[in-house]
Amino acid sequence: MFIVTIIYFLIGLLASTIGAIAGLGGGIIIKPVLDGIGTYDVATIGILSAATVFSMASVSLLKAARSGMKIQGKSSFLLAIGSISGGIIGKYLFAFLISSMDNQKMITVIQASILAILMFIIFLFVRHRERIRTYELKNELVIFLVGFILGTVASFLGIGGGPLNMAILAFAFSMNVRESAINSIFIIFFSQLSSLAMTAFTTGFAIYDLSMLGYMVAGGVIGGFIGSSFISKISNRQIDRIFIFSLMGIILLNVYNIIRNLM
């Protein structure tokens, strides 16, 4: 039992550290890792991931505020509101998928396939970003709708939205990698808060096996502190490399989960 708790603590710690540095959030790592371990069902994994990522985002934002890092207030706030709204829809879509399919493995395959494709598209965008025209959106409705789509997809996949946020912030608002990272964490904070609140007011938490939650949240808090400390000390190029290598690892993890659950 001790070894198991250490493993789950380390998952929360490592995912949150990388997530805080690169703006990934951590959920995009936690989700496929827990799918690969196979101990919990997809709904429970969503709760464990959301709580861990929320704790990481809380610590990261506090640390960023103290170090003087700024959020692009209006745009990120509108994206966050849109993400919260979309997150509600994504949650319902996920609940519908679970209720309409008895095969948990097939649900994992569907999510892993969508994740792998999305991560590959984002990988290509990051690798060729200098050749791609970026924008600076000003229309409030369009910004809200972008956040809505991000929230829907992230909630349905149970990932928190980190890489999607990073890519959209770079593409739609011409943010550099450091600006994208902190603004991504800001959006993730609200999206995960709404996800947890929605669960609390609908099904509640009693139906889930959350025995490892405390260890993962502890890892999320420490990881958020470590990651947010590093982000102010390393260059944009280094953050970019961490982001790219993380994407490659996430793609491989999801391909493994697809093959594992189809065999």
Q: How far apart are CA 137 and CA 134, in angstroms?
A: 10
Report the mean per-residue pLDDT for the chain: 84
How much is the pLDDT for 219?
Answer: 93
Q: How far apart are CA 174 and CA 177, in angstroms?
A: 10
pTM to 2 decimal places: 0.83
The pLDDT of residue 27 is above 80: no
Residue 244 · residue 123 · CB < 8 Å: yes
Q: How far is CA 133 from CA 102, 139, 173, 183, 194, in A?
A: 44, 18, 11, 20, 33
Taking residues 239-257, report their average pLDDT: 87
How much is the pLDDT for 213?
Answer: 92
Cβ atoms within 10 Å of 21's Cβ, excluding its own: 23
Taking residues 21-35, report their average pLDDT: 81
Taking residues 126-151, report their average pLDDT: 86
Q: How far apart are CA 123 and CA 164, in angstroms?
A: 11
Task: Sort 70 into a burial class: Cβ within 10 Å, 0-12 / 13-18 / 19+.
Answer: exposed
% of the chain exceeding 70 in pLDDT: 96
Least-confidence region, from 13-17, 39-43, 79-83, 162-166: 162-166
Taking residues 157-169, report their average pLDDT: 79
The pLDDT of residue 190 is above 70: yes
